[in-house]
Amino acid sequence: MSIIERHPDHFLLKAGGASYVLHVVREKYLAHAHWGSPLRAWKGANAPRFTDRSFSPNPAGSTDRTFSLDTLRQEYPGSGRTDFRSPAFEVQFADGSTVVDLFFAGASVVPGKPSLEGLPSTHADQPGAVETLQVLLTDALSGLSVALSYSAFRDYPVVTRSVRFTNAGKQPVTLRRALSFSLDLEGEGYSWLQLSGAHIRERQVVERALTAGTVSVESRRGASSHQQNPFVAVLGPGADEDHGEVFGFNLAYSGNFVSLAEVDQFGITRVQSGINPFDFAWKLEPGESFQTPEGILAYSHQGLGALSRTFHRFYQDHLCRGPHVLRERPILINNWEATYFQFNQKKLEAIVDKARPLGIELFVLDDGWFGHRDNDKTSLGDWTVDPKKLPGGMGALADKVHAQGMKFGLWFEPEMVSQDSDLYRAHPDWCLHVEGRSRSTSRDQLVLDLSRPEVCSYIVDSVTKILDSGKIDYVKWDMNRHLTEVGSAGRGADRQRETAHRHLLGLYGVLEAITTQYPEILFESCSGGGGRFDPGMLYYMPQVWTSDNTDAVCRLEIQWGTSLAYPPVTMGGHVSAVPNHQVHRITPLETRADAAMVGNFGYELDPLRFTEEETLAVTRINAWYKAHRAVLQFGDFYRIKSPFDGVSAAWMTVSRDRSLAVLFYFQILARPNVGQVVLRVKGLDADKTYTVEGGGISVRCSGDELMGVGLRMPELLGDFQSLRLTLQS
């Protein structure tokens, strides 16, 4: 059965459990008819009815006063031709004009999904898992052509979209805006959800009603950023965690983006996302093309929870790549918060010697091993081992770690350069900068200009040299500042505004080269924690350091928010020391562990300081985690109680066959003399009987009782307490 149906005047995409319909109006305008509930067929029940609307002009002139693009739900709207709403694209021709008439010029359906040149994108290796509709729109006067791609996935309520512009004319054309998709939703009472925050406070859930006007989230920082995330959701009236229609949107891009919704005068909600038009322009000489990043559209009729689970499985199956995606992730220990820059081989070996018997499987050497980096002011770019700290070189340390039966991982920050570095002294023009202007630093570093191929080659060569110097099993790829003075010595004035996007393309090229050359290395992306938690980075690296904030209480919110869009297995959670280094809070070890077990688990502290009691507790925690990590990393994630709404939180993970579940309950603050907490468990098999154990509870109940009636939590004494329960059928 085909996923995409072609009809004389419309296309019906049947993506597992959802449908998308686009149709051609008046033989030339590509209009939108439906995205959401599954349809067997579309006969035009909601086909547009044209009426004469004041102040909505008519492209056909006085021959038809009823037709205006201002009132039509469109697939890829432009500007200057009667639609006054947010355009999906803007171009400027050699004569300075900006008016375009993009008319339908044909369509084809191909099996599978072509990859996007130079960009991360979703994929499907299984035959029949995806089909792609390509619709061609052309502007006869200029020769500009725009190919819209729609890939519909057989097993997921997901459609992905992207756009390719080609200048088939005789004059250059400049793209000033080139978003990845535009979607005109009909209906009332929508609300909007975004994930916003800051460094060490990433992805806080922010919701608001959508009313007339525009709401947008965007990054102008050169990275998707801690401050905003490209993921947004539009919730239908009354939708919540478990009920109602929800439309989720994300963008496979790690740089400047915009995601927006505009509610127009007639209540149509236009949702768009793509490269941020801020500081962007792209010149297309005759014959040249421009490919936008890919937008990912998912649908749920069972609330946000089901939407998240769709994204989780979809990203595991169709976005992340490489042999590690489905492999269990090791328990790691990272020396950053234990030593910062002050370490030597002896100290590291002592940590490794202590860590192994605790059950820790991977030792990660963080920042400070190269150049003469004893602080954050120096040496980025000089990827050679500091012999003062590691006299035997990287190979010797890696061997020592492996001899202990552990894996070895290493930190890099390859996109940056310190002014105090041999690299900068040799190539002062290799950073982003504008000639004649000073260079702003952040954390005392500058950003290498990855829009230049020679800079990318340098990064690939210097990183691979280290990766070849010893047995390295894991890489943490960090990025610790945002982009300023975005200019490049590598190209002329007419192409300077291409720099930010070319920089991203350069980064993607570097990541493609390195991650495919070393498929056995587990790569983790990081940008001061979760500053680049986006589908673009997940394509190259299947996990992310969720946040530099390791406080258990802050992590409840950060991880809850992150789980809306990203699979738990992609989130790194680590137990760190108390008082916590970011917020100085003191929380019990068990609570820190329970919070960190949300995905792939580890430590960020000095085990040499453990008391006897802590040594025993950590050994016990690791053994428990290993016994349950298959379900924690690859099960279905259910959010139960939001840390944003009160003083407690809960979530759970259920194995795919629903025979085992793990429930975490957190009492953030104790309150006197309040009602008892009964949690309605989710995702179980109603007909199975489960043995529930943990925190003094030991009962046997059926799934329907646990889900319908709920489970009474025991009384927890004190702030920052947690409970970990297993439910086994």
Shortest separation between residue 544's beta carbon and ligand DGJ, angstroms: 10
**Residue 525 touches ligand DGJ, criterion: CB under 6 A:** no
Q: Per CB under 6 A, which of residues 555..584 are in contact with ligand DGJ?
A: none
Where are any strands of DSSP class E within 554-645? 571-576, 600-604, 636-641
Q: Does 474 bind ligand DGJ (CB under 6 A)?
A: no
- The SS3 call for residue 280 is coil
Residue 548 binding ligand DGJ, by CB under 6 A? yes
Which residue type sits at 156?
A: Y
Nearer to ligand DGJ, 231 or 411 (CB): 411
At 547, the amino acid letter reads: S
- Angstrom distance (rounded) from CA 610 to CA 614: 5
Query: What is the rounded CA–CA span in Å between residue 14 and residue 344?
Result: 58
- Record the tokens describing residue 375, joined without a space: 């602080």
Q: How far apart are CA 348 and CA 53, in angstroms?
A: 73
Tokens of 216: 């947008």
93 part of the interface to ligand DGJ, by CB under 6 A = no
587 binds ligand DGJ (CB under 6 A): no
Residue matched to tokens 């190259």: 540
Kindly state whether residue 526 participates in binding ligand DGJ, applying the rule CB under 6 A. yes
Determine if 367 is a binding residue for ligand DGJ (CB under 6 A).
yes
Q: Which of 83, 264, 367, 548 is catalytic?
A: 548
Residue 545 interacting with ligand DGJ (CB under 6 A): yes
State how far the Cα of 178 lies from the Cα of 497, in Å rounded to an integer: 14
Interface residue with ligand DGJ among 79, 132, 219, 480 (CB under 6 A) is 480
Give yes or no for residue 528 binding ligand DGJ (CB under 6 A). yes
- φ, ψ at 617 (rounded to 5°): -65, -45
Q: Does 477 bind ligand DGJ (CB under 6 A)?
A: no
The Cα 203–Cα 193 span in angstroms is: 11
Q: Which stretch binds ligand DGJ (CB under 6 A): 138-146, 155-163, 283-291, 524-532?
A: 524-532
Compute the distance between CA of residue 2 and CA of residue 176 in angstroms, rounded to an integer: 37
Span of 108-116, 277-285, 504-512, 522-530 interacting with ligand DGJ by CB under 6 A = 522-530
The rounded distance, in Å, linking the Cα atoms of 216 and 589 is: 40
- The active-site residue, picked from 83, 264, 420, 478, is 478
Instruction: Considering the complex, state which of residue 270 and residue 329 has its C-beta at the smaller distance from ligand DGJ.
Output: 329
- In the complex with ligand DGJ, the residue whose CB is nearer, 29 or 369, is 369
| Minimum CB distance to ligand DGJ smaller for 21 or for 526 | 526
Q: Is there binding between residue 11 and ligand DGJ (CB under 6 A)? A: no
Residue 76 or 411: the one with the smaller Cβ distance to ligand DGJ is 411
Name, in order, each residue with C-beta under 8 angstroms of 493's C-beta and a sequence gap of 6 or more.
none
| Matching residue, tokens 């008082």 | 579
The window from 35-43, 44-52, 393-401, 521-529 that contacts ligand DGJ (CB under 6 A) reads: 521-529
Tell me, yes or no, if 548 is annotated catalytic. Answer: yes
Q: Could you tell me how many residues of this chain bind ligand DGJ (CB under 6 A)?
A: 11
Taking CB under 6 A as the criterion, the residue among 11, 29, 156, 336 binding ligand DGJ is 336
Nearer to ligand DGJ, 479 or 504 (CB): 479
CA–CA separation, 144 and 172 (whole Å): 10
Comparison of 135 and 526: residue with beta carbon closer to ligand DGJ: 526
Query: Does 75 engage in binding with ligand DGJ (CB under 6 A)?
Result: no
Q: Give me Rg for the CA atoms of the chain.
A: 27
The C-alpha atoms of residue 27 and residue 13 are separated, in whole angstroms, by 20
3-class state of residue 525 by DSSP: strand
* φ, ψ (nearest 5 deg) of residue 126: -70, 135
Count CB atoms within 10 A of the CB of residue 125. 10
Residue nearest to ligand DGJ according to CB distances in the complex: 367
User: Is beta strand 711-712 parallel, antiparallel or unpaired with respect to 678-679?
Assistant: antiparallel
What string marks each residue from 408 to 427 as x (binds ligand DGJ by CB under 6 A) or -?
---x----------------
Our finding on whether 202 is near ligand DGJ (CB under 6 A) is no
Q: Which of 529, 536, 573, 683 binds ligand DGJ (CB under 6 A)?
A: 529
Interface positions with ligand DGJ (CB under 6 A): 336, 366-367, 411, 478, 480, 526, 528-529, 545, 548
Q: Hey, which residues are catalytic here?
A: 478, 548
